Structure 1
Amino acid sequence: MAAPLGSRRQRQRRRGVWSSALVILISSVVFAGAPARAAEAPGAEAPARDARAAEVTVEGTRFVDGYGREVVLRGFNVSGETKLAENDGLPFASVQDARKSARAVRELGGANSVRFLLSWAAAEPVRGQVDTAYLGRVTAQIKEFLAVGLRVYPDFHQDLFSRAIFDQDSWYSGDGAPRWAVEAGGYPREFCGICVHWGQNITQNQTVKDAMRDFWANRHGIQDAFLDTAQATMTYLADHLDRTEFAGIVGFDPYNEPYAGQYADGEDGSTWEQARLWPFYEKFRARMDAAGWHSKPALVEPNMFWNSNLSFMKQPGGLTGVGPLGPRYVFNTHFYDHARMSGFFNLTKAKDGEYATDFTTIRDQSTALDAPALVSEFGHPLTGTSSDKAPSVGKAQYQALDSGLSGRTWWQNASAAGPVLSATQWQWDIYNGRHHEAMNDNPQKIRTEGDAWNDEDLSAVRLDDNGTPVLRQDARLIDRLYPSAVAGRTLAFLYEDRSRDAGQTVTWSRIPSDMPELARMTGSDRPYGVLVWRGNGTSAPTELHLPAGFDPATTTVVTDLDTVTGPGTTGAIRVAPEPGGTTARRILLSGNAEGPHFALISAEPATAERRTAVQRELSRWAAAARFGQ
């Protein structure tokens, strides 16, 4: 994940030491049997597995499925356990644990996709020798996520280049490159100096900086070796997943949070991206093609500091100088509130519209690069000095992913909301608080708390005493309504999750005074969402993930074509299971003729009379908003 700033535990450990710097939605998505017949629209008694619905491609700044529907990817990173040695670089100790976690991601997290972490060190422990046993175990675990209808995109993860850089008595640890790659560099003993958080190693630890600089320069051929291993990994996956499973693989994230290590004279983040990072991505793209991944995009990340919300950390970048990326790439970035994570740069809770500008920057960069945007990491610590900010930061981050507007202005200016962003939260680690990790292989430093890696604790899930996955964050925040497949183009989306902060319900959206029936129907405590889209005439339905907190028997749906409370399993508005045999559900909306449409989904039951009144209010509102005009 991106490096936040300090924690109370770290500052207590280094009392008296401080530093002023930091460096860091009728079918769903993936179906799990025989492909659908070409004439079938998804949702109508469709086969259990549907490759057309599963596979996404890039079309301008959008992800689209085989039915031409606009797709939004939402989910989690699985899992930071890969950073640890206790399970040999695997996200899970067993296939059974992977299956348990996959079902929980679907049922508790409401996800339709995951970023699946891989370890270069585990894949190539000996130079030139790819460990196919590791790849076999990784593939078996990935299959469990595909089986429950989740899309997957793998990520060769790294932080601070490699675990092998750090000594047994080091304050910090890393992950990524194998030991032989570090030994090839002949680096001196690492030293971070006055560092109160692991992320500061990125800019202050000369050994870490030298190793990363050498990777981009391909010193000792280590970048070539990484590309060889990446190609072997992708070839293995393509060979060992069946056609529909492979359709559920979105693409590949080549490298987590790239940074220069050390700039050359006259170089900055943007020129480094052009001179070093982009050529690497072009090489990786060629390796994807050679491995049979021609139709899948590379999910490329920019210089990790390009959009920091701390001015002294922010650097030029964002792949600005590379030009349009085209359909073979996705603009893949991260966002953390480094100021609040620090515990001292910003002591306030996040507010309505807090990150609208930050995420508008991401949307604008997506447009400039003519590529979909994916925010593959975001989140906030759940323990430590800044953990009281987590509910507000989480709500504000999801708000900004859903819309480029604040809640107080959305209804007045919805046509300017912008696209719904795809994203995966950091992170989903069922072992949270149950680890047994020897930090840097030191038997005297066994880490069990939190994520067991550099004092981080961001997992949205844990296992209870019965071994059952349970959420560590408010389910109202985590299991969200979102448009997972839209038969056309999304014009605006709002979700008021009614999540809690310190026991209080937080509502940011403000319904206009000239929509009193809508205000009464949404109430003050029940969640609701609004989707506006322009239909493309396809027979495939628009669908939204329905959170577990919405009881289908009392859920109200109001569209421009029909209204219902308690939608059944047939009709123009209906409820259906999400693919994959879990308890997760979706709302299916038929009738996607060309032109604007709206849908309100509320957890509050309503009489037919009230629904009709709300329909009139929404119709007047949508006409006045002049969507798409």
Structure 2
Amino acid sequence: MRAASSRMTRLAVVPTLAAALTFAPAATGDTRAPAAAAPTTARTSPATAAPTALTVTAKQQRSWVFRDGHGREVTLRGFNVSGSTKLYENSLLPFRSTADAARSAQAMRDLTGANAIRFLISWEGVQPSPSVIDHAYLDRAVEQIRAFTGRGIRVLVDYHQDLYSSHLFHADSWYTGDGAPEWVVRAGNYPRESCGICLLWGQNMQTNEAVRRAAHDFWRNRRVSTEAGEIGVQDAFLRQATAAMTHIRQRLPEQDFASVIGIDPFNEPYDGGLSGKSGLEWEKTYLMPFYQRFRAAMDTAGWAGKPAFVEPLVFWNTGFFEEGGLTTAGALGTRYVFNSHFYDGARMTIDLSPASDGTYGAAMNEIRDRARALATAPFVSEFGHKMSGNGSDRTPWMVRAMYQAMDSGVPGRNWWRDAAAGGDVLSSTQWHWDLYSGRHHELMNRNPAKVRTEGDAWNDEDFSVVAADASGALATRLDRAVLDRLHPSAVAGDVLAFAYEDLARSGYGGAGRQQAWLAVPSSMPNVSALVRDRRFGVLVWREPAAAPGAPTELHLPASFTAGTTVVVGDVATRAGLPASGPAAIVTETGSSTAHRLLLRPSGAAPGTVHAVLVVGADTGPAVTPAQLTAAAAELAAWRDQRFPG
């Protein structure tokens, strides 16, 4: 996760390490429990078909998007699992057991309809000593990944680090880190860490000499002496990553590996000292060469068909200043994805104003624009806001506004007029989903006198949108209307525009103000009457050149039931959804309670522009056939005016 203070070739072979490195389970001193067998789900019927592999493709050479094996434009929405990977109580994995992973995956699918996760792993977990790759650790990770892929959820694997390593910090430190193993830090011989006057943990990246020197050494591949001989630090990282990716590829069944969308090589890279260079020069000189080496490692390990989700310098796109952004990288192409985080650094620190309609449009459009310039797809792998403490009263609408801006870069008040300017729907994973939120028992920096139990149990953070009750059942801590959203999960063609009105309240637990942000113009009185005080979404898309091999799909929030969902458009216009036909409702893969809408245009010519209005009419007056007909006519006229041809 990004600190609140921020704006915040071939693989080299090191002979001494190559001779010493063995690909075997850790020594018998490892007391972590083995993983149980992964759960499976039926994958034979159309309603439970397994996802196909994703590729990054150009969309009329104007932007780049994810597409599945049927050629559909895919939007990924989900969560990071999880900050618990930073904790030793969890053995540096998101979950303590495969059963916990399965319970979490099921709740995520049922409560939010999420179709993607960012799955955190740790260098320290993979390589506990310079000559050992811990296959037992990787096997547990594989089984936890399968708990999600078996429920139709795609996985981005993330090599996570914050402040380089927990081993840089002493037992009485105010802060901690995660990432590099103890033997790497010991070989670096770094000074005793001190952040100085630091109010936020991210300031360590700028003022803590131990943290900065360690990062400096990594990017410059400093050679250090270990019990396995002399090694380059970055060389060691790449060798263990190659071994880890190879093992994961071999252990995941083909169907599950198809659901792995790629890998994030390095979470939130920071410089460790620019050496007189700008952030852009640092990215060009150090960061991009590392990503190219990691890309080669992916190819060696059997991941050639999957992109590397590469992040810019951490000090980018959070409200204070612009530094980095990979603008000197040239065209990345489809073997990479531009992978940005977004946190509102101003509202985390000095800005006391609330978020509202359109607050984050500019920030998300900057991500869209940067990806377009890099000739690849964008992805927002972290965003969110704290769930407790000072300023958390603004969190519900801050997160709502972030989702709104990822749906469309146009504010709701202007959307019906400027929908075509909204840009592509951004795929994303929110920070974060912690099964153990508020129930941890972590010894901070291995100090038994500093046991952390509250929140995320890491540097006083509390970001998890879920928590378990005494019985172990998971419930959302944030208004479910914000998290369980209508979104176009797979569109047979090109998405031209999308927006969703979630009517989420500004407070917690059903409290706070409710206000619509997606305002229907007075020129569409029947549409306005139909959606008044109701949740609704609008999708506009263009029929592809070749006949689609699968229908368009939208995830339906829980309140959009078969009997109360209204569909208006050229594909179908009706109140209530059947189980088959042009507009039908089916269950989400891996869930018996979450649902999706299937849209099948019949005989539409290539290039046909479709528009559909989807309304959750679980409240308000009964919808009449005359009202539907009038609303359909208004929507068609609006589509023809705003999206001609």
On the 8 A contact 1:493/1:529 being kept in 2, the answer is yes
CA displacement at 1:626 relative to structure 2: 2.7
How much does 1:415 deviate? 1.1
Q: What runs of 5+ residues in structure 1 fail to find an aligned partner?
A: 6-21, 25-30, 37-44
Contact residue 63 and residue 372 of structure 1 kept, 8 A: yes
Q: How far off is 1:551 after superposition?
A: 1.8
Q: Where does residue 506 of structure 1 map in the other structure?
A: 515
* Equivalent runs, 1:30-49 vs 2, <5 Å: 45-46=45-46, 48-49=48-49
Residue 23 of structure 1 and its aligned partner are, at CA, apart by: 6.9
The within-5 A match list for 1:26-105 is 45-46=45-46, 48-50=48-50, 53-60=51-58, 61-105=64-108
CA contact (8 A) 2:333 2:375 kept: yes
Question: Under a length normalisation based on structure 2, what TM-score does the superposition of the two structures give?
Answer: 0.89
Match of 1:428 in 2: 433
Q: List per-residue Cα deviations over 1:134-188 (Å, max 9, x = no partner).
A: 0111111111011111000110100000000000100000000001111111001
Q: Does 2:538 match 1:530?
A: yes
Residues 81-124 of structure 1: per-residue CA shift (max 9 Å, x gap): 00111011011111110000001111112210000000111111
**Is the 1:49–1:244 contact (alpha carbons within 8 Å) kept by the matching residues of 2?**
no
- Corresponding residue of 2:252: 241
**1:468 & 1:2 partners in 2: Cα distance?**
29
| Residue 583 of structure 1: how far off its partner (Å) | 2.2
| Aligned pairs (5 A) from 1:104-143 | 104-143=107-146
- Secondary structure at the aligned position of 2:628 is classed as helix
* Residues 340-379 of structure 1: pairs in structure 2 closer than 5 A: 340-342=347-349, 345-379=350-384
Shift of 1:320: 0.8
Deviations 1:52-82 (A, max 9, x none): x421011131100000000111100001100
Q: Is 1:75–1:424's contact at 8 Å kept on the other side of the alignment? A: yes
Q: 2:201 aligned with 1:198, yes or no?
A: yes
Residue 438 (structure 1) aligns with: 443
Query: Following superposition of structure 1 onto structure 2, how do residues 41-440 of structure 1 map, counting pairs within 5 Å?
Result: 45-46=45-46, 48-50=48-50, 53-60=51-58, 61-220=64-223, 221-265=232-276, 267-311=277-321, 314-315=322-323, 317-342=324-349, 345-440=350-445
TM-score, normalisation: structure 1: 0.92
What is the alpha-carbon root mean square deviation over aligned residues? 1.4
Does the 8 Å CA contact 2:400/2:504 hold for their aligned counterparts?
yes
Conserved? CA contact 1:32–1:149, under 8 Å:
no
1:580: Cα distance to partner?
A: 2.0
* 1:504-529 superposed Cα distances (whole Å, 9 cap, x missing partner): 212111100011111111122x2100
Contact 1:462/1:469 (8 A) holds in 2: yes
Provide the aligned length of Structure 1 versus Structure 2: 588
> 3-state SS of the aligned residue for 1:86?
helix
Deviation at 1:48, TM superposition (A): 4.3
Deviation of 1:582 (Å): 4.0
Aligned residues of 1:563 and 1:611 also touching (Cα < 8 A): yes
CA 1:184–1:270: 2 relative to 1, 3 Å: same
1:387 to partner: Cα distance: 0.2
User: Cα–Cα, structure 1 residues 169 and 328, in superposed 2: closer, same or farther, change >3 Å?
Assistant: same
Contact (CA 8 Å) 1:161, 1:208: kept in 2 or not?
A: yes
Aligned to 2:641, what secondary structure does the other structure show?
A: helix
Q: Counterparts of 1:615 and 1:309 in 2: how far apart (Å)?
A: 41
How much identity, in percent, do the aligned residues show? 50
Distance apart, 1:268 and its partner CA: 1.1
Partner of 2:559: 549
Cα displacement (A) at 1:539: 3.8
Quickly say closer, same or farther: Cα 1:582–1:166, change in 2 above 3 A. Answer: farther
Is this contact kept in 2: 1:23–1:201, CA < 8 A? Answer: no
Q: Contact 1:476–1:549 (CA<8 Å) still a contact in 2?
A: no
* Counterpart for residue 485 of structure 2: 480
User: In the superposition, relative to structure 1, how do residues 513 and 581 fare at CA in structure 2: closer, same or farther (>3 Å)?
Assistant: closer
TM-superposed deviation, 1:495:
0.4
- Which stretch has the larger CA shift, 374-383 or 500-509? 500-509
Instruction: Give the alignment partner of residue 596 of structure 1, picking from 581, 600, 609.
Output: 609
Alignment partner of 2:139: what SS? helix
Read off the aligned partner of 2:4 and give its amino acid letter: P
Aligned to 1:250, the other structure's residue is in SS state: strand
Q: SS where residue 252 of structure 1 aligns?
A: strand
- 1:225 CA drift (Å): 0.9
Partner residue, 1:16: none
Contact 1:402 1:420 in 2 (8 A): yes
Match of 2:525 among 516, 523, 532: 516
Q: Does 1:563 align with 2:573?
A: yes
Given residue 3 of structure 1, which amino acid in structure 2 is its aligned partner?
A
Q: Displacement of 1:126 after TM fit?
A: 0.4
Q: Distance in 2 between matches of 1:575 and 1:49?
A: 15
Q: Which runs of 5+ in 2 are unaligned?
A: 9-39, 59-63, 224-231
Q: Distance in 2 between matches of 1:606 and 1:324?
A: 50
2:632 equivalent among 605, 612, 615 = 615
Residues 47 and 549 (structure 1), Cα distance of their counterparts in 2 relative to 1, 3 Å cut: closer
How far off its partner does 1:430 sit? 1.0
Report if the CA contact (8 A) 1:33-1:47 is conserved.
Answer: no
Deviations 1:578-627 (A, max 9, x none): 11244221000001642110111100162222111110010111111135
User: C-alpha displacement at 1:540, in angstroms?
Assistant: 1.6
- What is the CA distance between 1:414 and its match in structure 2? 0.8
Q: What is the identity, as a one-letter code, of the residue corresponding to 1:550?
A: F
CA contact (8 A) 1:460 1:472 kept: yes
- Please name the residue that 2:34 is paired with: none
Q: String of CA shifts for 1:177-224, please: whole Å, max 9, x gaps.
A: 001111111001000000011011011111101100100001121111
1:128 Cα shift? 2.6
